[in-house]
């Protein structure tokens, strides 16, 4: 249908303007789409957002109980943020056994303390394990690097929501200095420099200090799974709507200081559903209760994996499904040559995003 329509349209155009002009127009359109794909994506996404945010804003408590230091088995000095005064704190949710992933992050983007003139800090968030050898290794790792926060909950995939709650509580109590908190998975190539550039263009101003920001790749119109046998089962009494409020992909998202506080209030306002919902859905529900709408940023991956290209990765804020060795290689390559030119970044970003989209259309389950 659509193709026939286009074909008819093209024939008419050719009759009217001649082949050269039509080809010219086509080339121009392709070029435009490639160079400005992120703007186009932002625009299309904003049209499709369901805007539930705030519509069902519940009543939030005035405060949450203060976080107790005993809730953490391991953590850096309680003064770590007072001393470092980070503008951005990145908390990497990591499985205890993923030592290689954590080391790759320390050796690349997580090792930076100053980016674009802003102080940044990266910490790792883990839970408890029953294995005594691994427990000992975690203690040693924490002593050596001083960048582990271990919450009092059993570390498992289904308990990821507890990890996020533990992370929010830690940041509230021990890092109120940070203006932004990024939650990142340990298989994500994160790019604080690209994030800080985006923030300073859109959110950095002093007068926006009190605004809530919940930024990432927004998942739209996801339907809850009410089948009790399913891995992603979501009980009806916990959420009865046809689709979840829009939420940011859990691979990487960013919260401003006021958003951290309001999310915590919203989480405290309602009992935790059982079984626990997926972490990102849960954060989205809390944000919705708190009246915070997510903001989509096309520079976060989170849908189809984005194939590596040097200039593209210089612009992307996050790219997930990155193995530790890949992270080291990409980081070295990204910093081996001069930064890419504007045209270099625009075209590379357009091409890698188009490739990711094509990959998704061909293999949607990946
Ligand atoms: C999640 O953590 C709680 C608290 O530590 C624990 O009781 C529970 O067994 C954990 N669940 C899973 C599935 O690991």
Burial profile 339-361: b = 16 or more Cβ within 10 angstroms, e = fewer? ebeeebbbbbbbbbbebbeebee
State the DSSP code for 148. Answer: E
Residue 156 CA to ligand 1 center (angstroms) comes to 7
17 pLDDT band, cuts 50/70/90, is confident
State the DSSP code for 300. Answer: B
Residue 151 CA to ligand 1 center (angstroms) comes to 12
Q: Helix or strand or coil: residue 120?
A: strand
More confident residue, 242 or 3: 242
Looking at ligand 1, which atom is closest to the CA of residue 128? 5
Strands 318-319 and 189-190: antiparallel
Residue 211 CA to ligand 1 center (angstroms) comes to 34
Question: Which residue reads 């990145």 in tokens?
Answer: 90
Has residue 335 been placed in a domain? no
Tokens at 358, concatenated:
């094509």
Has residue 120 been placed in a domain? yes
Tokens at 305, concatenated:
């994996």
Has residue 166 been placed in a domain? yes
Q: Which pLDDT value is given to residue 55? A: 46
Tallying the residues shown for the chain, one arrives at 366
Number of domains in the chain: 1
Q: Which pLDDT value is given to residue 61? A: 83
* Beta bridge pairs of residue 295: 215
Has residue 204 been placed in a domain? yes
Question: Which residue reads 């690097």 in tokens?
Answer: 145
* Beta bridge pairs of residue 88: 120, 180
**Alpha-carbon distance 155 to 157, whole Å?**
7
More confident residue, 233 or 191: 191
Say yes or no: CB of residue 6 within 6 Å of ligand 1.
Answer: no
Q: Which pLDDT value is given to residue 231? A: 74
**Alpha-carbon distance 344 to 200, whole Å?**
22
**Full residue range of the structural domain in which residue 94 is found:** 68-296
Has residue 128 been placed in a domain? yes
Share of the chain above pLDDT 70, in %: 93
Is residue 63 predicted with pLDDT exceeding 90?
A: no
Tokens at 15, concatenated:
């009759």
**Alpha-carbon distance 287 to 281, whole Å?**
10
Q: Which residues contact 72 (CB under 8 A, 6 or more apart)?
A: 149, 150, 151, 152, 166, 170
CATH number of the structural domain spanning residue 244: 3.90.550
- How many helices (H) and strands (E) the chain has is answered by 13, 11
Say yes or no: CB of residue 156 within 6 Å of ligand 1.
Answer: yes
HSE, CB side, 13 Å, CA atoms: give it for residue 82. 6
**Alpha-carbon distance 257 to 175, whole Å?**
10
Has residue 339 been placed in a domain? no
Has residue 261 been placed in a domain? yes
Is residue 5 predicted with pLDDT exceeding 70?
A: no
57 pLDDT band, cuts 50/70/90, is low
Q: Which pLDDT value is given to residue 9? A: 63
Tokens at 357, concatenated:
């989209």
Say yes or no: CB of residue 9 within 6 Å of ligand 1.
Answer: no
DSSP 218-235: EE-SPPPB--TTSTTB--
| CA angle 50–54–59, rounded 5-degree value | 145
């Amino acid at each position: 249908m659509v193709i026939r329509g286009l074909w008819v349209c093209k024939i008419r155009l050719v009759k009217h303007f001649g082949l050269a002009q039509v080809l010219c127009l086509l080339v121009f359109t392709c070029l435009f789409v490639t160079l400005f794909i992120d703007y186009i994506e932002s625009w299309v996404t904003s049209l499709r957002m369901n805007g539930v945010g705030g519509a069902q804003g519940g009543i939030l408590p005035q405060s949450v109980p203060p976080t107790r230091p005993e809730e953490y088995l391991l953590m850096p000095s309680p003064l770590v943020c007072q001393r470092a005064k980070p503008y951005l704190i990145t908390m990497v949710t990591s499985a205890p056994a993923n030592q290689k992933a954590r080391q790759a992050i320390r050796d690349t983007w997580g090792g930076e303390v100053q980016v674009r003139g802003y102080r940044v800090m990266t910490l790792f968030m883990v839970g408890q394990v029953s294995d005594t050898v691994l427990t000992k290794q975690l203690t040693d790792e924490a002593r050596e690097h001083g960048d582990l926060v271990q919450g009092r909950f059993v570390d498992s995939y289904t308990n990821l929501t507890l990890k996020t709650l533990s992370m929010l509580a830690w940041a509230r109590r021990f890092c109120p200095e940070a203006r932004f908190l990024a939650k990142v998975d340990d298989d994500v190539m994160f790019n604080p420099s690209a994030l800080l550039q985006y923030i300073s263009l859109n959110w950095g101003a002093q007068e926006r200090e009190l605004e809530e920001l919940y930024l990432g790749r927004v998942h739209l119109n996801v339907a809850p799974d009410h089948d009790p046998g399913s891995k992603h089962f979501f009980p009806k009494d916990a959420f009865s709507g046809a689709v979840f409020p829009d939420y940011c992909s859990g691979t990487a998202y960013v919260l401003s200081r006021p958003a951290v506080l309001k999310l915590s209030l919203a989480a405290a306002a309602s009992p935790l559903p059982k079984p626990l919902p997926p972490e990102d859905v849960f954060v989205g529900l809390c944000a919705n209760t708190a009246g915070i709408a997510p903001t989509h940023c096309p520079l976060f991956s989170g849908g189809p994996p984005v194939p590596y290209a040097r200039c593209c990765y210089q612009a992307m804020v996050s790219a997930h499904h990155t193995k530790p060795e890949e992270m080291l290689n990409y980081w070295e390559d990204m910093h081996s040559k001069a930064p890419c030119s504007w045209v270099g970044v625009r075209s590379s970003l357009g091409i890698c995003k188009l490739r990711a989209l094509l990959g998704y259309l061909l293999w949607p389950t990946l």
